[in-house]
Amino acid sequence: MRNNRFEIFSTSVSQLIKSVQSLKSKKMAQYGLKGTNALCLCQILESGSGLTATELAKQGEIDKAQVSRCMAELIERKYVYRDDQNGRRYKQKYRLTPEGTAVATDINAVVGSIQATIRKDVTPEELDTFYRTLYKLCDNFHELLEKQKQ
């Protein structure tokens, strides 16, 4: 078993990603959205007061150009608007419209339901240990990739 842990890890992570993407895409299809759209909507909702493009990119760990495209789509759908104070567009916050708030709230409810379902039979302590370990593994993989770049 010890010799094939990496294969088990790789396969498990791949299966998790496919499952998450499948669940997300089903809900997003109802609104004609992509995963990045939903991420940005939910981040703005959770912020309470709106977020700038830079804040969205940093929090979502996505490219600022992708945030720009995403916001353009969400503005077109009338889910968000940019709070252009005094005609200035630079560093202004994106905020949710009432329609955007409804969509983001629905997405958050579905995510909460999914989380409750997958946490079945897992104690809070086990979950904490899992996430701490996962973060450490991610950091170690990132460090390994950085070393290989040099």
CATH code where residue 44 lies: 1.10.10.10
Is 35 part of a structural domain of the chain? Answer: yes
pLDDT for 124 equals: 92
Q: Are residues 130 and 90 in the same domain?
A: no
Q: What phi and psi, each to the nearest 5 degrees, are found at residue 95? A: -130, 155
pLDDT for 96 equals: 95
Q: Are residues 126 and 108 in the same domain?
A: no
pLDDT in tens, 56-96: 999 988 899 999 999 999 999 999 998 776 656 667 899 99
Poorest-pLDDT segment among 3-7, 10-14, 78-82, 100-104? 3-7
Q: What is the CA radius of gyration of the chain?
A: 18
Reduced to 3 states (helix: H, G, I; strand: E, B; else coil), residue 34 is coil
Type and span of the H or E element at 78:
none
pLDDT for 56 equals: 93
The CA distance from 126 to 74, in Å, is: 38
Q: Are residues 61 and 126 in the same domain?
A: no
Token code pair at residue 90: 């630079």
The CA distance from 110 to 85, in Å, is: 34
Reduced to 3 states (helix: H, G, I; strand: E, B; else coil), residue 81 is strand
Q: Is it the case that residue 35 has pLDDT exceeding 90?
A: no
pLDDT in tens, 86-134: 656 667 899 999 999 999 999 989 888 888 888 889 999 999 999 999 8
pLDDT for 44 equals: 95
Q: Are residues 91 and 108 in the same domain?
A: yes
The CA distance from 35 to 47, in Å, is: 18
Q: Is it the case that residue 54 has pLDDT exceeding 60?
A: yes
Q: Is it the case that residue 1 has pLDDT exceeding 60?
A: no
The CA distance from 60 to 67, in Å, is: 9
Q: Are residues 59 and 114 in the same domain?
A: yes
Reduced to 3 states (helix: H, G, I; strand: E, B; else coil), residue 97 is coil
**Which pTM was predicted?**
0.73
Cβ–Cβ under 8 Å, residues 100 and 79? yes
Q: Are residues 83 and 110 in the same domain?
A: yes
Q: Which residues pair with 81 in a beta bridge?
A: 95
Q: Are residues 46 and 27 in the same domain?
A: yes
User: What is the mean pLDDT of the segment spanning 30-45?
Assistant: 89
Q: Are residues 72 and 143 in the same domain?
A: no
Q: Is it the case that residue 52 has pLDDT exceeding 80?
A: yes
Query: How many helices (H) and strands (E) are present in the chain, helices listed first?
Result: 6, 2
pLDDT top residue among 51 and 6: 51
Closest C-alpha among 60, 31, 45, 28 to residue 95: 45
